[in-house]
Amino acid sequence: MSFNSLPVIDLNQAFDADTKNNFMNDLRHALVEVGFFILINFEQHGPSQHDLKNIEEQAVSFFALPKHFKEEVAMINSPHFLGYTDVGKEITSGRVDLREQIDLATELPAPSKTLPLYHQVEGPNLWPNAEVLPRFRPAITEFIEKMTALSVTMRGLVAQAIGLPQNGLDTFFRENQQYKMKLVSYPDSQEHSDEESANFRQGVGAHRDNTFMTFIYQAIEIEGSLQVENFEGKWVPVTKTPNSLVVNVGQLLENITNGICKATIHRVVSPKKGSGGRLSIPFFQTVDTNAYQEKLADFSPEVLLLRDERDQQLTSWGRNVGFQFTPDLTKTPAGYSVFKNRIKSHQDVAERWYPEELREVLAQI
């Protein structure tokens, strides 16, 4: 039997000696058997509810701007795949996504051109005009700082939950690496009939994230829109939980843990006609673009057994997902597959900055 709802993980429990054991068991179950969970009581270790309201306000103001202000920061102007993407420009699972978004990140200078090309997945942001949105950059900067802190706390807990020392996953991260985030607006699907909907309303198509973990703040939540595929191929809607973040395992964590943690497939179905649209703010916990894995960590036989028993139960999981470049850190550094997936998703940007690499990617998918 696969899961039919997402587990709720209460972060407070990790810091109380009476509940810590329970917390670790619940987190291990979520990482291995589901690949997704709903995180509550995170505020002392990350953004407060006030910070989240603040970021939501900035997101609403950004999307409400006249088109030309958004086009000034269009991703096509960034060799680092940062900036604004209009509805219909991104491709997932072979089809166009019905969402509008801006990709943002920890502010870093452009990497040297002498480095291997995949280093260009990091670089400076394109900031919207500060005279028009004066509080945007400070709010984003603060949000990234607080989410980074939360994600660092979580990586120590994840390590312990799967039987490693607290610092057991730290070598995959570096001090000044670039964490990523997005503001994403999913317009109401007014122009489509309900009959078309099952096939047509792709907010974002089925995919696995190319991250360590992803933390999603559903600022304007539409029930049933965010869906997770269980291991029998059934779509499970994420249920509303006040003051929560939805957290999922990405392919880098799956790879680093030799498949123990599961990078679960998910998608967003466009919000129903008349629902007013959905606003989501995912934070992507990336790893060091240079991270290699010479040798896998020594996992205990008990944890490896959990993985193997789970894998025996996978039946039609993965049927709905199109081609993605999967990381293999024993062969190529982490940034390599991230770069290729960015090219695949944002082909207009790649055409401008990396035309040769785009041809290679298109030949592989």
Ligand X SMILES: O=C(O)CCC(=O)C(=O)O
C-alpha to C-alpha distance for 211 and 291, rounded to whole angstroms: 13
Q: Which of 266, 272, 307, 344 binds ligand X (CB under 6 A)?
A: 266
- What, of ligand X, Fe ion, none, does residue 184 touch, CB below 5 to 8 Å by kind? ligand X
C-alpha to C-alpha distance for 25 and 171, rounded to whole angstroms: 24
Q: Shortest Cβ distance from residue 226 to ligand X (Å)?
A: 5
- The answer to whether residue 268 forms part of the interface with ligand X (CB under 6 A) is yes
Q: Any residues with CB less than 8 A from the CB of 116 and at least 6 apart, and which?
A: none
- What, of ligand X, Fe ion, none, does residue 256 touch, CB below 5 to 8 Å by kind? none
Cβ closest to Fe ion, residue 97 vs residue 209: 209
Tokens of 251: 């392919």
> Residue 149: which of 40, 44, 16, 280 has the closest Cα?
44
H-run or E-run covering 184: strand 180-186
Cβ closest to ligand X, residue 159 vs residue 252: 252
Q: Which of 280, 286, 324, 345 binds ligand X (CB under 6 A)?
A: 280
Site string for ligand X, 47-76 (x = CB under 6 A): ------------------------------
Q: Shortest Cβ distance from residue 284 to ligand X (Å)?
A: 8
Residue with tokens 């202000």: 69
Q: Which of 47, 168, 277, 282 binds ligand X (CB under 6 A)?
A: 282
Site string for ligand X, 169-198 (x = CB under 6 A): ---------------x--------------
Q: Any residues with CB less than 8 A from the CB of 7 and at least 6 apart, and which?
A: 26, 29, 30, 34, 37, 38
Binders of ligand X in range 199-238 (CB under 6 A): 204, 209, 216, 226
- What, of Fe ion, ligand X, none, does residue 280 touch, CB below 5 to 8 Å by kind? ligand X
Asked whether 136 and 84 are in contact (CB, 8 A), the reply is no
Strand partners, 95: 92
Q: Shortest Cβ distance from residue 224 to ligand X (Å)?
A: 12
Tokens of 77: 């102007």
Tokens of 89: 């420009």
Binders of ligand X in range 120-159 (CB under 6 A): none
Work out the burial of residue 21: count CB atoms within 10 Å of its CB; fewer than 13 is exposed, 13-18 middle, 19 or more buried: exposed
* Cα four-point dihedral sign 225, 211, 10, 311: positive
Strand partners, 236: 228
Q: Shortest Cβ distance from residue 323 to Fe ion (Å)?
A: 16
Cβ closest to Fe ion, residue 164 vs residue 263: 263
Q: Shortest Cβ distance from residue 339 to ligand X (Å)?
A: 16
- The answer to whether residue 209 forms part of the interface with Fe ion (CB under 5 A) is yes
User: How crowded is residue 362: how many other Cβ atoms within 10 Å of its Cβ?
Assistant: 12
- The answer to whether residue 269 forms part of the interface with ligand X (CB under 6 A) is no
- What, of ligand X, Fe ion, none, does residue 344 touch, CB below 5 to 8 Å by kind? none
Work out the burial of residue 216: count CB atoms within 10 Å of its CB; fewer than 13 is exposed, 13-18 middle, 19 or more buried: buried
Residues that bind ligand X (CB under 6 A): 184, 204, 209, 216, 226, 266, 268, 280, 282
Residues that bind Fe ion (CB under 5 A): 209
